[in-house]
Structure 1
């Protein structure tokens, strides 16, 4: 199974390396950029959850309106 996956990956990598720059650019914009946006969103939500759980926000120290 791993040999087949390795062979497929090698052929995909070879195809991508031999592709022209515009093709590579379009693939990066269509695949890598959305993946990075999803990863950034997930990290933001994870940090927000940990910050809410383990410490008060800066605005929590202010007295409320009376």
Structure 2
């Protein structure tokens, strides 16, 4: 998937994607169990994405071979 995902795409994709379900579950856990504010949970997600980007890019190159 090279294009940006729309909200509709996300809602169609969610039931089929364990990884996406885990992301949503993780955000829910941050708010419900770890008592983060929803904004803080989304900030954590943003930082995690930034910190993992290059490693994920390398993984994508490896699995594309």
Q: TM class by shorter-chain length? A: 0.3 to 0.5
TM-score normalised by the chain length of structure 1: 0.35
Higher RCO (C-alpha under 8 Å, 6+ residues apart):
2
TM-score normalised by the chain length of structure 2: 0.35
More helix by share: 1
